[in-house]
Chain A
Amino acid sequence: MSYARLSRDQIAQRIAQDIPEGAYVNLGIGMPTLVGNHLPKDREIFLHSENGILGMGPAPAKGEEDADLINAGKEPVTLLTGGAFFHHNDSFAMMRGGHLDIAVLGAFQVSVSGDLANWHSGGDAIPAVGGAMDLAAGAKDVWVMMEHLTKEGKSKIVERCSYPLTGIGVVKRVYTDLAVIEVTSRGLAANRLVPGLAFEDLQRMTGVSLLPPGARAAA
């Protein structure tokens, strides 16, 4: 049977649908930023930006950009009615202090125990961490959004991360283009496989052993 991988927008859509009304959410730079485009219009969700914004809105219309109103990726954004500005220490108190309900982060690798590697690809790349370690350490739930496999076809879900770690045992859930993987005390549980993808095929592509759909309910 054939299956189609989810596009990045489709993964973003899945994540957006899973964010409840009233949640305080930080979307990491890169792929997770797409989630903001798919938030259900009938829910009030608070987007936080590490540079001091709560109630961050979408990108402004062309010509309306304001150099003093940008997101973590340094792109122009807007402020929703009711939004607030604050300084860096308040912002990181929100992140580190457990006030954010969900952080959606990109990743190079996630391990079976929920270790996250997303800040440094190693080698001679210039290292840059930003707020990734603060979010990993402090958000109530860390969700990862990433492609299941590398460009070379290797699983990004691994027994142990080979890239430098961002946080230890912090990831709760991984949204990939093939499935949603829950990090549980019994191991990784695969759910919501894309239509047409058999569990056995997902297992074959994944670097570590997975619990089949339904296992989470039994946990």
Chain B
Amino acid sequence: MVDKISPSIEAALADVRDGSTVLVGGFGGSGVPEELIDALIAQGAKDLTVVNNNAGNGEVGIAALFKAGRIRKLICSYPRQVDSHHFQEAYRSGKVELELVPQGTLSERMRAAGAGIGAFYTPTGYGTDLAKGRETRVIDGKGQVLEYPLHGDVALVKAERGDRWGNLVYRKSARNYGPTMASAAKVTIAQVYETVELGKLDPEVIVTPGIFVTRVVKVPRKAAAYRAPAGGSVTRGISGKAAV
């Protein structure tokens, strides 16, 4: 019997090695696999290259990973947020390398990795500082930049629900990078709030099919707190059942 559901979060992360490239889902605070990141800090892997849209917010998630000094390099699109101070300190003191990538290119590079594409041309960034030193070509009259796949050793993603085959569904805009990252890493670990019996997820609406998922870990649901990006002036617990 195939059972991808891990007995514990520690077991799920046991084989993450120093120097790994870790794809971490999330956009701002939504879709960030905070429990997996906490467990990664406890696990102790260091010299990590982390791929995420942002650079951590406040004291939790990737910010905590920066604070613990485990990140050597960050590949991201938008590290300039008021509450990304742990990244900013590490960056200003030269402890962390930053590779800045336009957001769509970041996502597409991981898609290419997961899809077995060798490289691709994109118009995004053509003629800008972010395309300096890249191969370029004019295709259909449009300047394009050659970009290469971005593979992960490990992907940590947050989904809402999963089953023992690793099928996943997400919740609202917390989906963001999850499905793409799941496809782009050698080992994909998904944290979910609910595990369900096979067949309970409607096959028509499964977002990430289990082939892209190595392990599923159930974590307790927290009261989803919306944390305002601008220094946390608005922090309220809210109902997880808010009408869409």
Contacts and interface: CB of A to CB of B under 8 A. Distances in A.
Partners in one complex: yes
B173 A51 contact: yes
Contacts of A132: 102
B165 interface: no
B172 A85 contact: yes
Given A53-B173, A68-B224, A128 B31 contact: no
Interface in B200-221: 207
Q: Which 3 A-B pairs have the closest CB atoms?
A: A92-B104, A128-B80, A74-B28
Contacts of A88: 27, 103, 107, 176-177, 180
Interface stretch (A101-109, A146-154, A161-169): A161-169
A134 B53 CA distance: 14
Contact of B207 (A63, A64, A87, A168): A87
A21 interface: no
A76 B91 CA distance: 29
B179 A87 contact: yes
A68 B173 contact: yes
B104 A95 contact: yes
29 contacts: A51-B30, A52-B173, A52-B175, A65-B234, A66-B238, A68-B31, A69-B173, A70-B28, A70-B29, A70-B226, A85-B170, A85-B173, A87-B177, A88-B176, A89-B111, A91-B107, A92-B108, A95-B104, A126-B79, A127-B98, A130-B102, A131-B102, A133-B105, A137-B123, A137-B125, A165-B127, A168-B127, A168-B128, A168-B143
Q: Which secondary structure dominates chain B's binding surface?
A: loop
A158 interface: no
A78 interface: yes
Interface string B66-81: 0000000000011111
Contacts of A133: 102, 104-105, 124-125, 128, 130
Interface string A58-72: 001001111111100
Interface of A: 49-53, 60, 63-70, 73-76, 78-79, 83, 85-89, 91-92, 95-96, 120, 125-134, 136-138, 164-168
B129 A164 contact: yes
B80 A125 contact: yes
Given A51-B176, A52-B175, A96-B122, A134 B103 contact: yes
Given A52-B173, A134-B103, A74 B229 contact: yes
B138 interface: no
A78 B243 CA distance: 9
A134 B78 contact: no
Chain A contact residues, majority secondary structure:
loop
A79 B30 CA distance: 15
Nearest to B160: A68
Contact of B124 (A75, A138, A164): A138
Contact of B80 (A64, A126, A138, A167): A126
Contacts of A96: 104, 122-124
A165 B130 CA distance: 9
A65 B123 contact: no
Find the residue from B228, B242, B243 having the highest chain A CB count within 10 A. Answer: B242
A79 B244 contact: yes
Nearest to A83: B244
B176 A126 contact: no
Given A73-B229, A129-B77, A64 B238 contact: yes
B225 to A, nearest CB: 6
B146 interface: no
